[in-house]
């Protein structure tokens, strides 16, 4: 997935917080429950169709449609989980690598040398972000891509400390004192 340069060591890989994933799939959970509730009333809502095709065939058809719906939701869930799992910020001894999994077959990888880091800003918005300890990390660089933004990262303060420590070590390694 990523290639490591000679002499480069991976310090840490940081992922999004699990609560961000739960928020993303909460709509899918509702979409999985609602059809079962509606299916229980289906015979009363559509008595003409039940009378024409019969109760057993109607129930079989509803069961088939519910199974298809659940399979579709399961596929969407696993695509969302793959995106959540593969989104990552990798801090190495020489650079920052931001991997953003856009879809199953689309990925955006941004790299920035550590010595180009100018500022790291943490943004924690809302009560859930404060309670669960996640937020956005803005990394200002002196490169073509001015800012790298990682949204929903877990423990952003810890991530900032790791990045700043790696930056200081990279600067000290590149500019040894006489």
The pLDDT tens digits along the chain (178 residues) read 678 888 889 999 999 999 999 998 999 999 999 988 888 787 777 878 777 888 788 888 889 999 999 999 999 999 999 999 999 999 999 889 999 998 888 998 888 888 888 889 999 999 999 999 999 999 998 867 678 888 999 999 999 999 999 999 888 887 766 6
Show the 3-state SS of 86-110. HCEEEEECCEEEEEEEEECCEEEEE
Please report how many Cα atoms fall inside a 13 Å half-sphere around the Cα of residue 59, on the Cβ side: 4
Q: What is the pLDDT of residue 1?
A: 61
Q: What is the pLDDT of residue 145?
A: 67
What is the pTM (predicted TM-score) of this model? 0.77
Q: Are 139 and 112 in contact (CB under 8 A)?
A: yes
Q: Where are the domains of the chain?
A: 10-16+89-174, 23-83
Q: How far apart are CA 153 and CA 14, in angstroms?
A: 7
Pick the CATH number of 10-16+89-174 from 3.40.630, 2.60.120, 2.40.300, 2.30.29: 2.30.29
Q: What is the pLDDT of residue 177?
A: 65
């Amino acid at each position: 997935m990523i290639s490591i340069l000679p002499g480069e060591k991976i310090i840490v890989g940081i992922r999004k917080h699990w609560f961000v994933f739960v928020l993303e799939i909460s709509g899918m959970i509702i979409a999985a429950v609602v059809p079962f509730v509606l299916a229980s009333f289906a015979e009363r809502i559509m008595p003409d169709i039940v009378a024409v095709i019969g109760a057993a065939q109607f129930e079989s058809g509803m069961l088939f449609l519910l199974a298809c719906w659940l399979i579709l939701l399961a596929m969407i869930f696993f695509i969302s989980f793959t995106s959540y799992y593969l989104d990552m910020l990798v801090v190495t001894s020489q650079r920052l690598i931001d991997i953003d999994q856009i879809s199953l077959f689309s990925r955006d990888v941004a790299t920035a040398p550590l010595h180009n880091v100018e500022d790291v800003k943490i943004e924690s918005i809302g009560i859930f972000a404060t309670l669960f300890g996640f937020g956005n990390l803005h990394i200002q660089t002196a490169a073509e891509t001015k800012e790298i933004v990682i949204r929903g990262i877990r423990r952003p303060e810890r991530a900032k400390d790791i990045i700043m420590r790696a930056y200081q070590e990279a600067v000290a390694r590149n500019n040894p004192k006489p």
